[in-house]
């Protein structure tokens, strides 16, 4: 039920983020969502893209320290409380969220929340029981 | 030969050299009691009794830092262990420490030399002495402490750091003499200025600078900031510590206490003696140390000897210039000696670290800053930012353990640093002190 997020280690150097974006552009990769975890010394770029395997190879080839990370992409209603309801559910089940980011979905009235959790399988079943829609890799590719 | 300090300090060259020869003979005899020098003399077919003139010293090979490491812990000890009252140690490259032992007599004579230095600076029992150097294995703190007490000054054993407290002590106890590294003195002056204070708020009249090289420009800046006279103090733990050479009020070169040390300047490449006036590596021989005599010890410090020995101050002891560099790659950071190889040792034993790194030295708020920029190993990144932060923290911690200096650590992508061609440039020193 998980999708592949591409994670890139970026040192603190001017233009490095642009170079990563350029590598994706040249490979014809479309970015669905991104988040940048930043410290003063380095950053970790997290990407949801249409074709993760190709994105991974393209970044690797350009010398980027790149990794694949399994995350959950969940549709939530695009209205006040959409995220809060989802997190209340996870908190109730004592599921620890390592990080989260979101983007507006293409489906009218929906947003997509990307979740990184320790136990994706268990989290997926919790979400399914509450009849949330978990997006598949194909869903992301077709967005 | 008179024993009293004042008379000794006015001794002429002939008197000094006669005393040196006498003392060198007994020093070599004492050295021969240590396993290290016994073997060294034997393999050079040298007997201490063979020494006829001071120039015969040149027949003996140099002693180098590696000899001290190889002799760890006690192969250079030249007296019965029960006579030793103190040891000082410095962490060497890649973990092998060097040790210097002292008998009660050694500490007593070292203290005497420090007293001479303090008197040369014009200090008296009326002074209040704030010792802003580290205590412990580092000889800077304890060395001056003992001398200042013997002179009768009130000693404030402040140690390094804790800047606001230092400034409070200046004010509350009327400190008149401070002992400090130039870089820390700069930082302290920045802080008291920020607090709205100036030299008129203190009674500091003299500053004794040691432990790190600095420029003439910084000296003037500091003398102005504190409205005090600066005196340079030279020493190294192998030669006891501070108080080997000290500046008289002429402020041009430091007099070496030649009744206790023989100084030579050599070409670091060939080992040949250099004439006065030419810069080379400073070599010392101890003349009075009992626990651990060192013969022709190569300091790796670069300096020159001033050709004329007679000084307007009345002393005839040889003067050496300020230290202008090193003949090895040793770095002095916040007054602490360290070698790039120690940093490399830490990096290379840490999993997840690549093979390329760069040590960057600069100054931030007038304090030395050490930054280690290091590539992560290919494959070390698994998508987790937290893992990278842990790696960074681990390197920081291990460096602190190894080199005793707080370092900033920057993680770089594999291949970020220019690939090494031949001898890689590992150190970028941007400090301008």
Query: Apex CA A140: angle with CA A138 and CA A141, to 5°?
Result: 65
Greatest alpha-carbon span in chain B: 75
Q: Look up residue B405 and give its two tokens.
A: 């200096």
Q: Which residues of B touch A4 (CB under 8 A)?
A: none
Segments making up each domain of chain A, as ranges: 3-70, 71-142
B413 touches chain A (CB under 8 A): yes
Is the pLDDT at B430 greater than 50, yes or no? yes
A30 touches chain B (CB under 8 A): no
Sheet (strand B297-303) strand order: B261-266, B280-286, B297-303, B325-326
Q: Cβ–Cβ contacts within 10 Å for residue B58, how many?
A: 13
User: How many angstroms away from the CA of A65 is the closest CA of chain B?
Assistant: 6
By Cβ distance, the residue of A37, A64, A98 closest to B413 is A64
How would DSSP label each residue in B91-136? --GGG--EEEEEEHHHHHHHHHHHHHHHHHTT--TT-EEEE-S--S
Segments making up each domain of chain B, as ranges: 1-327, 336-429
By Cβ distance, the residue of A5, A41, A67 closest to B411 is A41
Q: Give dist(CA B131, CA B207) in Å, integer.
A: 10
Q: Give dist(CA B6, CA B185) in Å, integer.
A: 31
pLDDT by residue (tens digit) across B311-352?
999 999 999 999 988 899 889 898 888 888 889 889 988 999
Look at residue A38 in the predicted model and tell me its pLDDT. Answer: 83
B307: Cβ–Cβ under 8 A, 6 or more apart, which residues? B276, B277
Q: CB–CB of B416 and A66 under 8 A?
A: no
Average pLDDT, chain B: 92
Contacting A residues, span 102-131, partner chain B, CB-CB under 8 Å? none
Question: Residue B310 — pLDDT band, cuts 50, 70, 90?
Answer: confident
Question: Residue B262 — pLDDT band, cuts 50, 70, 90?
Answer: very high
Q: Which residues of B touch A11 (CB under 8 A)?
A: 410-413, 416
User: How many angstroms away from the CA of B108 is the closest CA of chain A?
Assistant: 50
Nearest residue in A to B379, CA atom: A65
Look at residue B421 in the predicted model and tell me its pLDDT. Answer: 55
Q: CB–CB of B382 and A42 under 8 A?
A: no
pLDDT by residue (tens digit) across B388-398?
999 999 999 99
Q: Look up residue B194 and give its two tokens.
A: 């920020």
Q: Give dist(CA B156, CA B171) in Å, integer.
A: 12
B215 versus A112: the higher-pLDDT residue is A112
Distance of CA B7 to the CA centre of its chain: 28
Averaged over A62-79, what is the pLDDT? 94
Question: Residue B128 — pLDDT band, cuts 50, 70, 90?
Answer: very high
Ranges of H-type helices in chain A: 16-26, 52-61, 82-92, 120-129, 137-142
What fold characterizes domain B336-429? GMP Synthetase; Chain A, domain 3 (3.30.300)
How would DSSP label each residue in B310-378? --TTS--S-EEPPP-EESS--EEETTEEE-HHHHHHHHHTSTTEEEEEEEEEEEETTEEEEEEEEEEPT
Look at residue B75 in the predicted model and tell me its pLDDT. Answer: 97
Which of A11, A37, A69, A101 would you mutate first to test chain B, the one with the most B CBs within 10 A?
A11
Q: Which residues of B touch A69 (CB under 8 A)?
A: 383-384
Strands B408-412 and B367-376 come out as parallel
Look at residue B423 in the predicted model and tell me its pLDDT. Answer: 57
Q: Look up residue A13 and give its two tokens.
A: 């150097």
Query: Is the Cβ–Cβ distance between B296 and B63 less than 8 Å?
Result: yes
Is the pLDDT at B84 greater than 70, yes or no? yes
Q: Give dist(CA B234, CA A33) in Å, integer.
A: 62
Which option is the CATH number for B1-327: 3.30.300.30, 3.30.70.3280, 3.40.50.12780, 3.40.470.10?
3.40.50.12780
Which residues pair with residue B334 across a beta bridge? Answer: none
Chains A–B, number of C-beta pairs less than 8 Å apart: 51
Look at residue B3 in the predicted model and tell me its pLDDT. Answer: 46
Is the pLDDT at B287 greater than 50, yes or no? yes
B360 touches chain A (CB under 8 A): no
Q: Which stretch of DSSP H or E encloses residue B184? A: helix B182-194
Question: Could you tell me which CATH number the domain at A3-70 has?
Answer: 3.30.2130.10
Q: Give dist(CA B102, CA B83) in Å, integer.
A: 8
- Which of A64-73, B107-116, B324-333 is predicted with the least confidence, judged by mean pLDDT? B324-333
Q: Give dist(CA B39, CA B295) in Å, integer.
A: 13
Question: Residue B2 — pLDDT band, cuts 50, 70, 90?
Answer: very low
B382 touches chain A (CB under 8 A): yes
Look at residue B25 in the predicted model and tell me its pLDDT. Answer: 96
B199: Cβ–Cβ under 8 A, 6 or more apart, which residues? B225, B226, B227, B228
Q: CB–CB of B381 and A9 under 8 A?
A: yes
Look at residue B341 in the predicted model and tell me its pLDDT. Answer: 85
Averaged over A51-56, what is the pLDDT? 97
Q: Is B430 exposed, middle or buried (0-12, 13-18, 19+ CB in 10 A)?
A: exposed
B414 touches chain A (CB under 8 A): yes
Query: Is the Cβ–Cβ distance between B180 and B134 less than 8 Å?
Result: no
Question: Residue B1 — pLDDT band, cuts 50, 70, 90?
Answer: very low
Is the pLDDT at A6 greater than 60, yes or no? yes
Q: Which residues of B touch A64 (CB under 8 A)?
A: 413
Where is mean pLDDT largest: A117-121, B243-247, B425-429?
B243-247
pLDDT by residue (tens digit) across B198-240?
999 999 999 999 978 788 888 998 999 999 999 999 999 999 9
Is the pLDDT at B271 greater than 80, yes or no? yes
Is the pLDDT at B140 greater than 60, yes or no? yes
Q: Give dist(CA B159, CA B394) in Å, integer.
A: 28
Q: Give dist(CA B428, CA B371) in Å, integer.
A: 10
By Cβ distance, the residue of B383, B389, B416 closest to A69 is B383
A71-142 homologous superfamily: ACT domain (3.30.70.260)
Give the Å distances, CA to CA, from B412 to A64, B346, B354, B394, B404: 11, 17, 9, 15, 23
User: How many angstroms away from the CA of A97 is the closest CA of chain B?
Assistant: 14
Look at residue B385 in the predicted model and tell me its pLDDT. Answer: 92
A66 touches chain B (CB under 8 A): yes
Q: Give dist(CA B401, CA B91) in Å, integer.
A: 10
Give the Å distances, CA to CA, from A80 to A74, A76, A107, A111, A131: 16, 10, 17, 11, 19
Averaged over A124-139, what is the pLDDT? 91
Give the Å distances, CA to CA, from B56 to B20, B41, B50, B53, B63: 12, 13, 8, 6, 16
Q: Is B109 left (phi over 0), alpha (psi -120 to 50) or beta?
A: alpha
Q: Cβ–Cβ contacts within 10 Å for residue B161, how many?
A: 12
Task: Give me Rg for the CA atoms of chain B.
Answer: 23
A10 touches chain B (CB under 8 A): yes
Instruction: Say whether the peptide bond before residue B73 is cis (omega within 30 degrees of 0).
Output: yes
């Amino acid at each position: 039920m998980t999708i592949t997020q591409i994670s890139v280690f970026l040192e603190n150097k001017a233009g490095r983020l642009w170079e990563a974006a350029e590598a994706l552009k040249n490979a014809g990769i479309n970015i669905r969502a991104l988040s940048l975890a930043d410290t003063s010394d380095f950053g970790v770029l997290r990407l949801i893209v249409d074709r993760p395997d190709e994105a991974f190879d393209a970044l690797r080839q350009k010398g980027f320290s790149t990794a694949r990370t399994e995350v959950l992409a969940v549709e939530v209603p695009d209205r006040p409380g959409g995220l809060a309801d989802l997190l209340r559910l996870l908190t109730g089940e004592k599921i620890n969220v390592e990080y989260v980011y979101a983007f507006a979905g293409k489906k009218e009235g929906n947003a997509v929340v990307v979740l990184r959790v320790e136990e994706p399988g268990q989290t997926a079943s919790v979400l399914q029981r509450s009849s949330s829609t978990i997006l598949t890799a194909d869903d992301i590719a077709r967005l | 030969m008179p024993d009293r300090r004042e008379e000794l300090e006015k001794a002429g060259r002939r008197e000094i050299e006669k005393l040196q020869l006498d003392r060198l003979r007994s020093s070599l005899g004492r050295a021969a009691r240590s396993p290290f020098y016994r073997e060294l003399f034997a393999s050079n077919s040298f007997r201490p009794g063979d020494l006829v003139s001071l120039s015969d010293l040149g027949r003996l090979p140099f002693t180098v830092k590696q000899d001290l490491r190889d002799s760890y812990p006690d192969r250079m000890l030249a007296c019965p262990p029960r006579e030793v009252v103190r040891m000082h140690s410095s962490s060497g490259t890649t973990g092998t420490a060097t040790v210097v032992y002292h008998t009660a007599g050694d500490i007593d004579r070292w203290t005497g030399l420090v007293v001479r230095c303090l008197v040369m600076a014009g200090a008296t029992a009326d002074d209040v002495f704030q010792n802003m150097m580290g205590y412990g294995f580092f000889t800077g703190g304890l060395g001056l402490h003992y001398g200042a007490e013997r002179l009768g000054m009130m000693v404030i054993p402040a140690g390094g750091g804790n800047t606001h407290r230092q400034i409070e002590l200046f004010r509350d106890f009327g400190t008149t003499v401070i002992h400090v590294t130039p870089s820390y003195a700069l930082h302290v002056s920045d802080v008291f200025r920020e607090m709205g204070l100036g030299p008129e708020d203190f009674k500091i009249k003299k500053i004794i600078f040691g432990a790190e090289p600095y420029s003439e420009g910084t000296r003037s800046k500091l003398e102005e900031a504190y409205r005090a006279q600066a005196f340079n103090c030279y020493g190294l733990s192998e030669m006891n510590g501070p108080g080997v050479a000290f500046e008289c009020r002429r402020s041009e070169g430091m007099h070496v206490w030649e009744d206790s040390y023989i100084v030579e300047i050599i070409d670091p490449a060939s080992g040949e003696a250099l004439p006065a006036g030419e810069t080379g590596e400073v070599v010392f021989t101890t003349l009075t140390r009992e626990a651990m005599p060192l013969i022709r010890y190569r300091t790796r410090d670069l300096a020159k000897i001033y050709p004329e020995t007679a000084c307007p101050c009345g002393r005839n002891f040889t003067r050496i210039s300020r230290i202008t560099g090193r003949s090895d790659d040793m770095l002095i950071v916040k007054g602490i000696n360290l070698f790039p190889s120690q940093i490399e040792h830490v990096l290379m034993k840490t999993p997840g670290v690549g093979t390329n790194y760069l040590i960057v030295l600069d100054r931030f708020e007038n304090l030395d800053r050490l930054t280690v920029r290091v590539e992560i190993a290919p494959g070390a990144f698994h998508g987790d930012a937290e893992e990278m932060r842990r790696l960074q923290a681990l390197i920081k911690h291990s460096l602190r353990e190894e080199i005793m200096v707080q370092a900033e650590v920057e993680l770089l992508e594999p291949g970020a640093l220019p690939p090494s061609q031949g001898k890689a440039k590992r150190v970028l020193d941007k400090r301008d002190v």
